Amino acid sequence: MTTLVTGGTGFTGSHLVRRLLERGGSVRVLDNQPGLFHDELRDLGAEITIASVTDEDAVRRCVEGCEVVHHLAAAFRKLNVPQSHYSDVNEQGTRIVCRACVDFGVRKLVYCSTCGVHGHVQGESATEDSPIAPADYYQQTKYDGEVVVQEFVRDGLDATTLRPTAIYGPGDPGRFVMLFRLCKRGTFTMFGDGRVHYHPVHIENLVDAFELAATVPGVTGEAFLAADDRSYSLTDLVHEVGRAMDLDMKIRRLPFAPLRAAAVVCEAVCKPIGVSPPLFPRRVDWFRQHRSFDITKARRMLGYEPRVGLDEGLRQTGDWYRRWGYLEGSPRKQVTLPEPLHGPISLG
């Protein structure tokens, strides 16, 4: 069986590609850039095309002959690009992928959306039926991608959507690096009361969800939240990250409002001069957005069951960061490692 993974050299995509190769399938990757894992994935046998999902010819060449397509490529953490870049990639790119899937008779498309389509969760926890309330243009365009997928489902495409929560695990160069760095000296500054919840999903649990979405029958047109079995208050999460580094964390509390105001000003000053702002509203909203989700539907319809718990997952993640030098430097320093430090992912 041949499978295409768009965004396959990224964090999530590379884990999915490894799993598919382990299963013995033939795997194609389409990604904007080689990323940290290009050489490793190529050596494992993946056929990698470097091109954008907005490049219709490249997408069609990659999709032709595939039985399954996992569509993960997304404009995600990009700063200093026009907002139209997000819709070009997340909405129009998804349309191009869907059309190619129809034209080449792909058996199954799995579209990777985000729990962020529900925005700030009201009440205890959200389900797939909770209001769609994207809080920024990234989340909005991920939802626009869902709408595109549903249009093609109505025309006969067999597609299923996953809405992952905060993905973490070995190989994640994003948010959790910052959290580990902010915790590594044993004290953490919490803006606000730390009682809002954050809902992680370990990368291996998420890869299970992708495999299930691609293989379980009767889920055409469905969307599933993909998350670990529970969410954590920010205070608990900080303590858990500390524990993963054998630290007993002390938490200092400061009010949230001045930080938010500083983030708004910082973004307004940096954007026009083309500088990446060290603080921006989407980043600091982490301290106030409540994120807690119910995975009953994925359990019931997909047979999904998260296997890796937070304790084990954070230890693996911390070990990986330490091994590859990610915990050095200031919390907000961009992660750019010298070539020899780029290494294969090991869950050991």
- Catalog residues that contact ligand NAP under the rule CB under 6 A: 6-7, 9-13, 31-33, 35, 52-54, 72-76, 78, 89, 93, 112, 114, 142, 164, 166-167, 174
CB of 218 to ligand NAP, least distance (A): 24
User: Is residue 287 a contact partner of residue 192, using CB atoms and an 8 Å limit?
Assistant: yes
Q: Give the pair of three-digit tokens for residue 182.
A: 């902010």
Spell out a b/e string for 150-181, using b for 16 or more CB atoms within 10 Å of the CB, else e. Answer: bebbeeebbbbbbbbbbbbbbbbbebbbbbbb
CB of 64 to ligand NAP, least distance (A): 17
DSSP of 34-57, one letter per residue? -TTTHHHHHHHT-EEEE--TT-HH
Residue 77 or 185 with smaller CB distance to ligand NAP: 77
Per DSSP, what are the bridge partners of residue 163?
A: 225
112: amino acid identity, one letter: C
CB of 244 to ligand NAP, least distance (A): 18
Count of alpha carbons within 13 Å of 305, Cβ hemisphere only?
A: 2
User: Is residue 119 a contact partner of residue 139, using CB atoms and an 8 Å limit?
Assistant: yes
Residue 88 or 193 with smaller CB distance to ligand NAP: 88
CB of 55 to ligand NAP, least distance (A): 8
Residue 101 or 112 with smaller CB distance to ligand NAP: 112
Residue 2 or 90 with smaller CB distance to ligand NAP: 90
Compute the distance between CA of residue 8 and CA of residue 38 in angstroms, rounded to an integer.
9
Residue 26 or 49 with smaller CB distance to ligand NAP: 49
Q: Give the pair of three-digit tokens for residue 241.
A: 């990250």
What are the backbone dihedrals phi and psi of residue 164, each rounded to the nearest 5 degrees, phi first?
-70, 150
CB of 257 to ligand NAP, least distance (A): 26
CB of 239 to ligand NAP, least distance (A): 21
Residue 73 or 263 with smaller CB distance to ligand NAP: 73
Closest residue to ligand NAP, based on beta-carbon distance: 10
Cα separation values, 271 from 64, 77, 175, 263, 274, Å: 40, 15, 21, 12, 5
Residue 11 or 152 with smaller CB distance to ligand NAP: 11
CB of 88 to ligand NAP, least distance (A): 8
